[in-house]
C-alpha cells in the first residue's frame, strides 16, 4: 500500500495542484489511488474527486477523535493501491494557529504517514533549505520524507535539487514546471469549485502527464510503501431504514461524504434533489438536509423556483425533521442578498435576511453547546463545529452558544426544535455519530406517522 501526505510550509504553496498531479499520474499508471483531505475544507476534495471519479474523504482531528480518524482512513483506503492525503495550511498550523492540534502534522503523526513537502522556489534558494531544516527539527518526528518543487523551471531545479538534498538530507523527488493548467482561480480563501472550471478534465490530464515526466514516481512509490495492515470495519447496518432528502446542486455543494455515510449507517438513505431545478421534494422522505454551499451566487434561480421554496417551507413548518447548515440556513431565511446587492425571497421558514459582509464571519473551529433539547442535541450537550462564510444573517438565533476553542469569544446562534436544527455551523456527523442516529430516528418516526395517516385516510 502506498501512503503519503502532500504538505507545504504555508497556504498557497501548491498542495492541491501537486496532489491532483500525483493522483492523476498514479491513476494513469493503474495504481488505483484514493484521496483524503486534512481538515474541514470542502473544495479541495472536489478536485480530488474530479481526478479520480470517486469520493475524496475529509480527516479532521478537531471534529473527530484520533481513533475515529484512523478508522475512517482504514475504511476508505481499503481496496486501493495508494492513499494520498492533502495537508492543510502550513504544516504545523493547527487550531487557532497557535497549536499543532488538527494540523497536517498532527494527522501525519496519527496515521504515521510519510510527508512529501511542496516548496515553491519564488525569491529564495538556500533559504529554502533553512526553512526545511526548521520544519524537520520543530518536532521530534517531523515525518518529512521528501521534497517536491512546484512552479519551478527545469534549469532552476537542476540547481536547487542537489543543494536541498545536501543541506536537508531529504531526497528531492521531482518538480512541476510553471503550467497554465495549474492556475486555478480562488474565491475568498479557497479555490473555485471543481464544477466551475469548464476544462478541468483536460487540465488534470495535462498535470498527470507532466507528473509522469518530471516527478520521480518509482522513487515516490518506493519511499511511501507501507505494510497493508489496516483492516476496514464496515458499520453494522441499521435494523430499519428511512430516506432523507439531501439538497445537491451548484448552490448546495458542501456536504461531507462521511456525514452521508454516517446517516446510511444510522438507517437513513440520502436521496438527492436540486432546490434550483426541481419543483418538489423527493416523495416519501422522512427528513430534509440542506447543507452548505454558495446559495448567494444562485439566489435568483433559487428564488424564482417558487414551487420548491413553497414545498420546503410547508414541509418544514409541517414538522419534517430538518437540518440546515450555513448555506442551507440562509436558504430557510426570509430573503438573501446576492453579490450584486439584489435581494431575493427565500423559503421564509426562519426570520432574518441573508446579507453579504465582505469579510469572513466567525471563521474557524468552535464548540457549540445547545441550550435546550432539540432534533440533534440535548440541553447542555456540546459538539465540535466549523464555520466559514462571508454572508451573515440579520437574525442568527439564540438556541445554542458557540465558543472558540481558546474561550476568547462566544456567541449565540441557531434555531432549534424537536424537528429542526438550523445554524451557520457545519456539522461532521462521522465524528459525532449520535447526530446522525438522532436525525435518522426522527426521520423514521416521521415517515411512520405519515404512512399511518395515509393508511387511516384510505
The contacts of residue 132 (CB under 8 Å, 6+ apart) are 117, 119, 144, 147, 164, 167, 168, 170
Tally of CA atoms within 13 A in the half-sphere of 26 that contains its CB: 27
Residue 326 annotated as catalytic? yes
Tally of CA atoms within 13 A in the half-sphere of 212 that contains its CB: 13
The sign of the CA dihedral 394, 196, 255, 109 is negative
| Residue 318: count of CB within 10 angstroms of its CB | 10
Catalytic residue among 38, 152, 326, 413: 326
CA dihedral defined by 277, 278, 281, 284, rounded to 10 degrees?
Answer: -140
State the chain's maximal CA–CA distance in angstroms.
Answer: 82
Q: What are phi and psi of 84, to 5 degrees?
A: -115, 125
d(CA 403, CA 405): 6
Residue among 20, 110, 11, 104 at smallest CA distance from 56: 20
- For residue 157, give Cα distances in angstroms to 21, 129, 149, 152, 368: 18, 14, 8, 6, 48
> CA 105 from chain center: how many Å?
18
Residue among 157, 170, 174 at smallest CA distance from 212: 174
d(CA 388, CA 86): 19
d(CA 99, CA 369): 23
Q: Across the strands, what pairs with 254?
A: 292
Burial class (CB in 10 A: 0-12, 13-18, 19+), 345: middle
| Residue 99: count of CB within 10 angstroms of its CB | 14
Residue among 370, 425, 341, 444 at smallest CA distance from 63: 425
Q: Residues 190, 212: contact at Cβ < 8 Å?
A: no
Q: Residues 48, 33: contact at Cβ < 8 Å?
A: no
Grid-cell match 384510505, residue found: 458
d(CA 144, CA 133): 10
d(CA 145, CA 133): 12
Catalytic site residues?
326
Amino acid at each position: 500500500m502506498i501512503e503519503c501526505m502532500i504538505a507545504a510550509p504555508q497556504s498557497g504553496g501548491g498542495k492541491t495542484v501537486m496532489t491532483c498531479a500525483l493522483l492523476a499520474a498514479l491513476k494513469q499508471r493503474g495504481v488505483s489511488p484514493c484521496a483524503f483531505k486534512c481538515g474541514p475544507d470542502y473544495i479541495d476534495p472536489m478536485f480530488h474527486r474530479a481526478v479520480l471519479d470517486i469520493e475524496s474523504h475529509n480527516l479532521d482531528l478537531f471534529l473527530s477523535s484520533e481513533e475515529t480518524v484512523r478508522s475512517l482512513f482504514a475504511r476508505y483506503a481499503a481496496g486501493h493501491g495508494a492513499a494520498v492525503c492533502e495537508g492543510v495550511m502550513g504544516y504545523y498550523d493547527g487550531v487557532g494557529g497557535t497549536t499543532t492540534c488538527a494540523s497536517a502534522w498532527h494527522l501525519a503523526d496519527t496515521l504515521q504517514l510519510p510527508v512529501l513537502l511542496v516548496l515553491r522556489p519564488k525569491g529564495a534558494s538556500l533559504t529554502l533549505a533553512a526553512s526545511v531544516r526548521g520544519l524537520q527539527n520543530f518536532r521530534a518526528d517531523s515525518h518529512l520524507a521528501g521534497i517536491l518543487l512546484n512552479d519551478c523551471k527545469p534549469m532552476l531545479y537542476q540547481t536547487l535539487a542537489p543543494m536541498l538534498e545536501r543541506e536537508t538530507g531529504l531526497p528531492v523527488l521531482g518538480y512541476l514546471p510553471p503550467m497554465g493548467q495549474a492556475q486555478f482561480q480562488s474565491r475568498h480563501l479557497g479555490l473555485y469549485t471543481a464544477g466551475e472550471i469548464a476544462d478541468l478534465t483536460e487540465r488534470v490530464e495535462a498535470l498527470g502527464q507532466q507528473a509522469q515526466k518530471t516527478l520521480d514516481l518509482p522513487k515516490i512509490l518506493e519511499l511511501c510503501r507501507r505494510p497493508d495492515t489496516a483492516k476496514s470495519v464496515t458499520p453494522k447496518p441499521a435494523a430499519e431504514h428511512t430516506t432523507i432528502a439531501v439538497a445537491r446542486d451548484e448552490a448546495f455543494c458542501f456536504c461531507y461524504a462521511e456525514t452521508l455515510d454516517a446517516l446510511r449507517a444510522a438507517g437513513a438513505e440520502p436521496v438527492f434533489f436540486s432546490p434550483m431545478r426541481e419543483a418538489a421534494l423527493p416523495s416519501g422522505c422522512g427528513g430534509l438536509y440542506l447543507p452548505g454551499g454558495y446559495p448567494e451566487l444562485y439566489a435568483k434561480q433559487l428564488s424564482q423556483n417558487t414551487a420548491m421554496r413553497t414545498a420546503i417551507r410547508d414541509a418544514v413548518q409541517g414538522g419534517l425533521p430538518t437540518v440546515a447548515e450555513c448555506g442551507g440556513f440562509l436558504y430557510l431565511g426570509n430573503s438573501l442578498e446576492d453579490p450584486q446587492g439584489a435581494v431575493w425571497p427565500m423559503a421564509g421558514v426562519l426570520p432574518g435576511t441573508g446579507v453579504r459582509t465582505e469579510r469572513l464571519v466567525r471563521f474557524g473551529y468552535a464548540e457549540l453547546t445547545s441550550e435546550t433539547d432539540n432534533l440533534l442535541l440535548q440541553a447542555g450537550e456540546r459538539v465540535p463545529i466549523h464555520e466559514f462564510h462571508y454572508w451573515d444573517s440579520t437574525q442568527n438565533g439564540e438556541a445554542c452558544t458557540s465558543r472558540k476553542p481558546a474561550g476568547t469569544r462566544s456567541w449565540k446562534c441557531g434555531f432549534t426544535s424537536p424537528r429542526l436544527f438550523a445554524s451557520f455551523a457545519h456539522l461532521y456527523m462521522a465524528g459525532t455519530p449520535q447526530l446522525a442516529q438522532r436525525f435518522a430516528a426522527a426521520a423514521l418516526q416521521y415517515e411512520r406517522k405519515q404512512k399511518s395517516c395515509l393508511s387511516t385516510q384510505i
